[in-house]
C-alpha cells in the first residue's frame, strides 16, 4: 500500500466517524443501536491508528522505475481528473514539445501530478485555468510546471507547506505536498514552489533526464 493511498483513506474515515457519532446521539446508551454504533466508532479509530502508524513520516515505497513517456502520463492524469475540473469549472491546458521518456515509477509520479493538480483546482476560482507545461531544460533535468491562477500562497506560510500534516483546508490532511516532495526526491529530482507571481502558484517538478544513476539497474 503506497503512502498516497493511506493518505486518501483518512478523509472517508473521518466522515464515517462524524456520521456515526451524529447518529449515536439519537439513541440512549442502553439501546442496541447505540452499542452497535459504538462498535463502528471503535473500529474506525482502530483503522485510523493503523493508517497513521503505517504512514509514519509518509514514506513512500521505494520507486519501481521504468522508462515511461511523461506526456502520456500527464494526459492520463488529466483524463482521470476530468470530473474534478468540470465540477470546479476550471479549465486545463497541456503544453508539451514532443515526447520524452523518463526513468520513473509511473504510479508514484502520477500520484504527485494528482496531488499538485488537485491543490491547483482547490485554489482556483470558477472559470480559471490551469496550465501544465513541460520544459526540456539544459541542466540534465526535465521540468513539469503546473501553474494556477488561484489564491496563491502567503509568504508567511511558504516554509510550512511541505511539513507533513500542515494544512489550511477544513478537510485537508496536509500530506499531499510532503508525500509528493519525498517521491520526487526518491527519483533524484526536486519539487519547487514559486509563489512570487502576481496571482496563483507555479509548481515545478524536476526529474533527471537520464534517470537517477544511484538507483538505475
Ligand atoms: N496551488 C496552491 N494554491 C494555494 N495554496 C496551496 C496550493 N498548493 C498548496 N497550497 C497550500 O499548501 C498547503 C499544504 O498542501 P498539501 O497538498 O500538502 O495539503 P492539503 O492540500 O492541505 O491537504 P491534502 O493534500 O492532504 O488534501 C495547503 O493547505 C494550502 O494552504
Ligand atoms: Mg493537497
- Mean residue pLDDT of the chain comes to 89
Could you tell me if the CB of 167 is within 6 A of ligand 1? yes
pTM exceeds 0.85 for this model: no
- pLDDT score, position 8: 82
Residue 212: pLDDT over 60:
no
Q: Can you tell me the distance from the alpha carbon of 60 to that of 66, in angstroms, rounded to the nearest whole number?
A: 17
pLDDT (tens digit, 9 = 90+) per residue, 19-56? 999 999 999 999 999 999 999 999 998 888 778 766 65
Q: Can you tell me the distance from the alpha carbon of 77 to that of 111, in angstroms, rounded to the nearest whole number?
A: 9
* Ligand whose nearest atom lies closest to the CA of 180: 1
Question: What cell does 115 get?
Answer: 496531488
Q: Which of 3, 176, 194 to mutate to test the pocket of ligand 1 (most atoms within 8 A of CB)?
A: 176
* Ligand whose nearest atom lies closest to the CA of 7: 1
204 and 184 Cβ atoms separated by less than 8 Å: no
- pLDDT score, position 113: 97
Helices and strands of the chain, counted as H and E runs: 6, 7
Nearest CA to ligand 1 atom 17: 176
Could you tell me if the CB of 153 is within 6 A of ligand 1? yes
Q: Can you tell me the distance from the alpha carbon of 143 to that of 152, in angstroms, rounded to the nearest whole number?
A: 21
pLDDT (tens digit, 9 = 90+) per residue, 114-141? 999 999 999 999 999 999 999 987 689 9
**Alpha carbon of 28 to ligand 2 centroid (Å):** 39
Q: Can you tell me the distance from the alpha carbon of 16 to that of 82, in angstroms, rounded to the nearest whole number?
A: 26
pLDDT (tens digit, 9 = 90+) per residue, 51-85? 876 665 556 678 889 999 999 999 999 999 999 99
**Alpha carbon of 31 to ligand 2 centroid (Å):** 41
Amino acid at each position: 500500500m503506497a503512502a498516497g493511498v493511506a493518505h486518501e483513506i483518512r478523509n472517508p474515515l473521518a466522515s464515517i466517524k462524524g456520521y456515526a457519532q451524529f447518529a449515536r446521539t439519537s439513541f440512549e446508551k442502553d439501546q442496541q443501536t447505540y452499542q452497535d454504533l459504538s462498535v463502528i466508532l471503535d473500529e474506525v479509530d482502530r483503522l485510523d491508528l493503523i493508517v497513521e502508524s503505517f504512514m509514519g513520516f509518509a514514506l513512500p515505497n521505494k520507486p519501481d522505475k521504468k522508462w515511461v513517456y511523461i506526456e502520456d502520463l500527464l494526459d492520463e492524469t488529466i483524463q482521470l481528473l476530468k470530473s474534478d475540473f468540470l465540477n470546479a469549472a476550471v479549465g486545463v491546458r497541456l503544453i508539451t514539445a514532443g515526447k520524452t521518456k523518463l526513468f520513473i515509477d509511473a504510479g508514484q509520479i502520477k500520484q504527485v501530478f494528482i496531488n499538485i493538480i488537485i491543490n491547483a483546482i482547490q485554489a482556483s476560482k470558477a472559470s480559471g485555468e490551469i496550465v501544465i507545461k513541460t520544459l526540456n531544460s539544459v541542466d540534465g533535468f526535465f521540468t513539469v510546471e503546473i501553474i494556477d491562477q488561484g489564491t496563491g500562497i502567503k509568504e508567511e506560510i511558504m516554509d510550512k507547506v511541505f511539513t507533513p500534516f500542515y494544512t489550511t483546508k477544513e478537510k485537508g490532511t496536509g500530506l499531499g505536498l510532503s508525500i509528493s516532495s519525498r517521491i520526487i526526491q526518491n527519483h533524484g529530482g526536486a519539487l519547487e514552489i514559486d509563489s512570487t507571481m502576481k496571482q496563483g502558484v507555479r509548481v515545478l517538478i524536476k526529474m533527471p533526464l537520464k534517470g537517477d544513476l544511484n538507483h538505475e539497474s
